A and B are shown apart, each in its own frame.
Chain A
Amino acid sequence: MVQTHLIFYAPQKGALRLLCQLLAAALLSTHEAYADALPWYLEADKQDVAPASIHSAAVTPGTTPITVAVIDSGVLAEHPALKGALLPGYDMVGAQRNLRGDRSTNFAPDARDATCGQKLVSSSFRTHGTEVASLIAGNGYDNAWGVNPKAKVLPVRIFSTCGMSPDDMVDAIRWSAGLPVRGVPTNPYPAKVINISIAGGATQCRSDLQRAIHTAIQAGAFVVAAAGNNFQRPLAEPANCEGVISVGALSAENKIENYSALDPRTTIYTAGGGPNLTVNHQWAKNKLRVATTESSFGGGEQFTVADKGIGTSFAAPLVSGFLSLWLSYRPNVGPQDWVSYVDSFVREVPRLEKCVDCNPRGLVVPENIVRRSK
């Protein structure tokens, strides 16, 4: 990993490049252990493993590649952390909200300087889908590891600078599962897992959305959704829809984060990051490591990797990534079988006094899945 990192950044001129490599190698030698570290939420074998780690680093992916749809704000396909991970996805943003005119095969986010009338959207929306995808299938570039680096990500864009509509979400779920959508070519790579790191809409699941979710589940797809960052209020759509695996957020210390939705219907919790912790551990920063972008010196944009993920948006892809890892050994298991397996990959999470009916459970990868070869 370190070598790849050096080669990528070193100047192309021979002597200067060599000098840079030697200098960087000398500097890195003292930090090698840290540079090669896996993110705290995946770590399994170290002495000080974070209490909320899912321990997936101990597991090597199975031979069956699993497709995970990422229904989000689009994915930056050129990001080096996603090299080899992406399938041809789709832009499902309807004409009314699509700055590119209409639905198409271009699943990239809107341009950096895109605007939509008077609507103001923060720049972090643009990279949201890329960040989520990297937590599922990141290839380890600059330690941006996904839970399953062998998973295939199917990007499906539904969120644009002009927001999104529930109709687009319904179509995106159907298309991801390989079901027909009017006016759109059939998806040749039906997803076994559908990740939706979006919450909002109604406080009760609407019938058209519920119907789409049921149909996707019947077609064999696991539907995973972020619980929402509504500071301890009940689940919103699509997390409140029947059959959805809703995901709440934990700190590295295995405690439910304040911002996470709080609802007895929340299926599972996992690391979502949060404020810095006052402990003397590598995981004290309490953020998830994601593939993203930053402003370059000249005012442009460059790809980077950063410890900045906070929210149930980033907890959900850990569960989706885990499902793809698990399914890579059991490709014939379907979403209907979830209930009979779930007890084997959960751990206790301290209950919050505010929700006496809640029985929170945290994700941990079962040890009976084959261990990762070193």
Chain B
Amino acid sequence: MKKLTHFPRHLQIFVSLLLALIAHSSRADAIVWSCSRSEPKQTTFEGIKAFRIENLTTKDTDTISITLLDLYGAYGGEVIQMGKNHLSVCSLPPKDPLQITAMELLGYTPEEFLKVSQPSKGALIFIPSIHQMQKCIHENHPAIGFLKNVVENERVAPCF
């Protein structure tokens, strides 16, 4: 009996730790930074695999190119110049758990993001849910946002 009363407590702690570990390690996987693409018919070098400074994607040249510095800047409220256009940033409401996770991945606290998410700052476009994210990224080209999975089609592609 003694063993039984102690063992579950240890087990409980172990399981809690394990769950916390799994939750923590899966966080980064929950966010895929995604960028808008030009219309495929406008692709200049279609079919050629290309490198990007700092970026992982091998897809190509119709996906907008931004650096990590731009990613931090964009979510920090800076205006990012893309040729003659400005980069748009599709965002969930500041208190949405997924938005909080994304900002934590960049090292921004919810309070910091709340500060920069005032209407006058940067190029943030707020959408009510993650289901509108692809549409937002596509319709506001050049734009960046995040998705829960890797999505790659004629509208968006992973960009980090």
A: residues with CB less than 8 A from B are: 72-73, 96-97, 115-125, 128, 159, 162-166, 169, 197-202, 226, 228-233, 236-237, 258-259, 274-276, 308-313, 353-354
Which of B33, B45, B53 is close to A197, meaning CB atoms less than 8 Å apart? B53
**CB closest chain-B residue, reference A262:** B28
Whether A115 and B83, one on each chain, are in contact in the complex, defined by CB atoms closer than 8 angstroms, is yes
**Known contacts A124-B69, A202-B58; is A163 also within 8 Å of B105 by CB?**
no
Q: How far is the CA of A298 from the CA of B76 in the complex (A)?
A: 26
Whether B70 and A124, one on each chain, are in contact in the complex, defined by CB atoms closer than 8 angstroms, is yes
Which of B31, B70, B83 is close to A231, meaning CB atoms less than 8 Å apart? B31
Q: Is B5 an interface residue (CB 8 A)?
A: no
**Known contacts A121-B82, A259-B160; is A199 also within 8 Å of B51 by CB?**
yes
Q: How far is the CA of A354 from the CA of B27 in the complex (A)?
A: 10
Which of B21, B65, B68 is close to A310, meaning CB atoms less than 8 Å apart? B68
Interface size range of chain B in the complex: 35 or more
Whether A233 and B56, one on each chain, are in contact in the complex, defined by CB atoms closer than 8 angstroms, is yes
**Known contacts A164-B51, A231-B33; is A118 also within 8 Å of B44 by CB?**
yes
Q: Is B39 an interface residue (CB 8 A)?
A: yes
Whether B106 and A229, one on each chain, are in contact in the complex, defined by CB atoms closer than 8 angstroms, is no
Which of B58, B64, B67 is close to A128, meaning CB atoms less than 8 Å apart? B67
Q: How far is the CA of A275 from the CA of B53 in the complex (A)?
A: 20
Q: Chain B nearest CB: distance from A307 CB in Å? A: 12
Whether A73 and B61, one on each chain, are in contact in the complex, defined by CB atoms closer than 8 angstroms, is no
Whether A200 and B56, one on each chain, are in contact in the complex, defined by CB atoms closer than 8 angstroms, is yes
Whether A122 and B87, one on each chain, are in contact in the complex, defined by CB atoms closer than 8 angstroms, is yes
Whether B44 and A72, one on each chain, are in contact in the complex, defined by CB atoms closer than 8 angstroms, is no
Whether B68 and A120, one on each chain, are in contact in the complex, defined by CB atoms closer than 8 angstroms, is no
Instruction: Say whether chain B's binding surface is mostly helix, strand, loop, or mixed.
Output: loop
Chain B residues 46-68 with CB under 8 Å of chain A are 48-58, 60-62, 64-68
Contacts of B83 in A (CB 8 A): 115, 120-121
Q: Is B80 an interface residue (CB 8 A)?
A: yes
Contacts of A200 in B (CB 8 A): 50-52, 55-58
Contacts of A116 in B (CB 8 A): 44
Q: Chain B nearest CB: distance from A318 CB in Å? A: 16
Contacts of A202 in B (CB 8 A): 49, 58
Q: Is B7 an interface residue (CB 8 A)?
A: no
Q: Chain A nearest CB: distance from B31 CB in Å? A: 7
Whether A353 and B108, one on each chain, are in contact in the complex, defined by CB atoms closer than 8 angstroms, is no
Contacts of B61 in A (CB 8 A): 119, 162-163
Q: How far is the CA of A253 from the CA of B50 in the complex (A)?
A: 34
**Known contacts A115-B83, A198-B54, A200-B55; is A166 also within 8 Å of B49 by CB?**
yes
Whether B142 and A73, one on each chain, are in contact in the complex, defined by CB atoms closer than 8 angstroms, is no
Chain B residues 102-129 with CB under 8 Å of chain A are 105-108
Q: How far is the CA of A275 from the CA of B107 in the complex (A)?
A: 5
Which of B44, B50, B80 is close to A122, meaning CB atoms less than 8 Å apart? B80
Which of B39, B51, B61, B70 has most A Cβ within 10 Å?
A: B51
Whether A119 and B38, one on each chain, are in contact in the complex, defined by CB atoms closer than 8 angstroms, is yes
**Known contacts A198-B54, A313-B53; is A118 also within 8 Å of B107 by CB?**
no
Contacts of B6 in A (CB 8 A): none
